[in-house]
Amino acid sequence: MLEAILLVGGQGTRLRPLTLSAPKPMLPVAGVPCTTHQIARAREAGVSHIVLGTSYQAEVFTQAYGDGGDLGVRLTYAHEKVPLGTGGALRNVAEHLHSGPDDPVLVFNGDVLSGLDIEALVEHWRSSEADVALYLTRVADPRPFGLVPTDPSDRVLAFLEKPTTPEEIVTDQINAGCYVFRRRLLDDIPDGRPVSVERETFPGLLAAGARVIGHVDTSYWLDLGTPLAFVRGSADLVRGLAPSPAVVGSTGDALVLPGANVHPSAVVDQGSTIGRDCIVHAGAHVRGSVLMDGAVVESGAEVIDSVIGRAAVIGGNCRLLETVVGDAARIGPDNEFAAGARIWPGTELGPMSIRFSAEPA
Ligand code: GDD
Ligand code: MG
């Protein structure tokens, strides 16, 4: 039996306003929550029991998944009334585990899409007799992540979470958000107070001489924590670049979910997802974007690399680039939003109220 912990209790601040109505791991990427993709992949790798470490909007997870029967795994929930951080969450989950003290327990950050060979990570942990094995990947800009330099025998040398000075940028190898822990190390995390696994537990284990190894896997990897990463991850799933057994019905260029209505003269492409009961009107163009259920894009509007919340309405001939529109917002015709714009849920905007270029495109 292999057990896993899914960390899903964060507030998803960088994805507001989307995370006002749903926790980040439950926002639909390619039509289903990131959590569903992760559970499906863990199950494929032989995981039979998953404990979700919840805090923010915990009830959304229990309502969606119950005991996990529909997904073919056993799910249990460890709720934190007050968020305990990534390490405190692991300690809080420990009593739900059945693994023995020296058994491997997998841990997943709840907002990562990846092509990691999970079984190879567990095997590396086992064959190197490690206390902890960390999944590492390489990225062009490691600064928003945890930097993890290793020696030639894969031993982790340091753990530098979100470095702030140039001297700290010693590697492009980062913590990719999945670990194998020897179970008893989880029990050793302090109880009842917030603990960061990245800032406290990992550096503490290194200082205490624990055997912590890095496992580099450079297949597909993406942290969905920002709006742009979120739309890219969704599009990559739709296009088959990110592997997930939970994506159903993609044409390769777009995923149009049941009940959605796309006018024959509209263009929906570059990995866009059109949610249930959405309407995309004549001449509209939806490119690389996510329309959540019931959203409406009116005639001639252009929606590029953007997320449109549930039941939001984008008026005719609007242009949106890298914009997040909250649930049920109503944007009148002929508005233009530049990269980084965020419209709060329920906002009502009249016609031609916001432009970012002098001339209409
Ligand atoms: N239960 C619980 N309680 N979960 C939490 C808490 C908490 O207090 N805080 C965060 N989480 C969950 C989030 O829901 C998310 O799934 C995961 O832990 C990681 O939190 P993020 O907020 O997404 O962290 P990050 O992306 O800035 O950094 C982390 O992930 C990077 C890779 O994606 C770190 O682990 C970095 O070292 C790493 O490189
Ligand atoms: Mg993250």
Which tens digits make up the pLDDT trace of 140-186?
999 999 999 999 999 999 999 999 998 889 999 999 999 999 999 99
Q: Tokens 């959304």 belong to which residue?
A: 60
CA 102 to ligand 1 centroid distance, Å: 25
Triad 78, 83, 88: Cα angle to 5°? 70
Specify whether domain 249-356 bears CATH 2.40.160.10.
Answer: no
Regarding predicted confidence, which is higher, 17 or 248?
17
Q: pLDDT at position 289, please?
A: 98
Q: Indicate if the pLDDT at residue 358 is higher than 60.
A: no
Residue 117 identity (one-letter amino acid): D
Q: Which atom of ligand 1 has the smallest separation from the CA of 54?
A: 1
Residue 179 CA to ligand 2 centre (angstroms): 14
Report the share of the chain in percent with pLDDT over 70.
Answer: 99
Q: Check residue 194 and give its pLDDT.
A: 97
Query: Residue 360 pLDDT more than 70?
Result: no
pTM over 0.75: yes
Does the C-beta of 147 come closer than 6 Å to ligand 1? no
Domain limits of the chain? 2-223, 249-356
Instruction: Return the ligand number nearest the Cα of 138.
Output: 1
- State residue 51's pLDDT score: 98
pLDDT tens for each residue of 188-197: 999 989 999 9
CATH of span 2-223: 3.90.550.10
The preferred substitution site among 7, 81, 224 for testing ligand 1, maximizing ligand atoms within 8 Å of CB, is: 7
> Is residue 248 classed exposed, middle or buried when 0-12, 13-18 and 19+ CB atoms within 10 A define those classes?
exposed
How far apart CA 30 and CA 294 sit, in angstroms, is 15
| Cα 42 to middle of ligand 1, angstroms | 18
Ligand 1 pocket member 35 (CB < 6 A): no
pLDDT of 356 reads 77
Q: Identify the pLDDT of residue 359.
A: 59
